[in-house]
Structure 1
Amino acid sequence: MAMAVAEARLRQDKVKKFEDFVDRRLKPDLVNAIAQRDNLFQQQKTFLDLKKNIENLEKNGVTSMRSMVNLGSEVYMQAEVPDTRHIFVDIGLGFHVEFTWQEALQFISVREARQIDEYTHLIASIKAQIKMVCEGIRELLQLAAE
């Protein structure tokens, strides 16, 4: 009898550890990965806007332009761009790279596909880990019921 009680307690401890792992590690990781993927969707919207602007510049043959630039806190200043054929693109971590229009369009298309795929794979992996741990918990509990 004491052996059965000890085994039951050991199973309950294992179940508790698995549940804590899911609640304290996997679920927050999943929420974080989903938030980062959503942030990428927002960045992609910015890149899509840039892509449309580049296509409009090409279509209309614009090689110079004047524009209002937001300096921050909704303070604007007029700016003149003498040569629009080269643009600087924020590639992340505060770095900007000078691209031609075609290089920028190529960079945008490669970046879009790769980053979303990475986070989609990570999210699927975390969900699979959660499912596997939950299945392990279910099996432990079935053994306890028998």
Structure 2
Amino acid sequence: MPGPDFIDMEKVSKYENFLNEVLRVDLKTTLDRRDELYNEIAQYIELQTIMGKLSAATGGGEDDGDIGLGTKLKTRVDIGSNFYVQAEIPSTKTFTVDIGCGIWLQMTGKDALKFCDKKLFFLNARADELTQKELSIKAQIKMVLEGLREIQKIVTKEPTPRNEL
């Protein structure tokens, strides 16, 4: 039987492998997915802002559904790497919105705003789920690290209670 100073290196190796090959990879994947969601959220917020500015500029309102009032609009479009070209939109009566899975749908301004609100609600809920998953993975990482410290008999300072006066 091994002595009290024996460290099971096979067990340590398994824990380290689990930590590095599973938990840290899961954490990175979760954070990347959440970042993609935040980018999509930013795009929908930008769409709402643009439609609001267009409504204010043309005198349309959300109540009547005619945000753009069918007016012609001149603008600049970023085609990548901050390279802009001039564009002319013949009518702003309808908006073409990406509703997901590569499907684009023409909507009135009022419908597009409703869609943005619903999509933002869904995306924020999904981002919250990924944040909870991130916290869970971080807790698992902390637990595995504590297990490794215990197996390797690494002595750490006792944490001082924060609520002590």
User: Same fold, TM exceeding 0.5?
Assistant: yes
Q: Count how many residue pairs are aligned between Structure 1 and Structure 2.
A: 138
2:129 is matched with: 118
Q: CA deviation at 1:136?
A: 2.2
Partner of 1:63: 69
Do the aligned partners of 2:97 and 2:104 also contact (CA within 8 Å) in 1? yes
Could you report, residue by residue, the CA deviation over 1:52-109 in whole angstroms, capped at 9, with x for unpaired residues?
112223333132233346484547363434243x323223332224442332332243
- In structure 2, the partner of 1:94 is 102
Does residue 4 (structure 1) correspond to residue 12 (structure 2)? The answer is: no
Partner of 1:87, secondary structure, is: strand
Q: Which runs of 5+ in 2 are unaligned?
A: 61-67, 155-165
Classify the secondary structure of the residue corresponding to 2:2.
helix
Q: Out of 102, 107, 120, which is 2:118 matched to?
A: 107
Residue type at the aligned position of 2:74:
S
- Aligned-residue Cα RMSD (Å) equals 2.9
- Which one has more relative contact order, counting CA pairs under 8 Å at least 6 apart? 1
**1:25 maps onto 2:22 in alignment:** yes
Percent identity for Structure 1 against Structure 2 = 26
List gaps (5 residues or longer) in structure 1: none
Deviations 1:24-53 (A, max 9, x none): 221122123223322322222221111111
Task: Using the TM superposition, give the Cα deviation of residue 130 of structure 1 relative to its aligned residue in structure 2, in angstroms.
Answer: 0.9
Quickly say closer, same or farther: Cα 1:129–1:76, change in 2 above 3 A: same
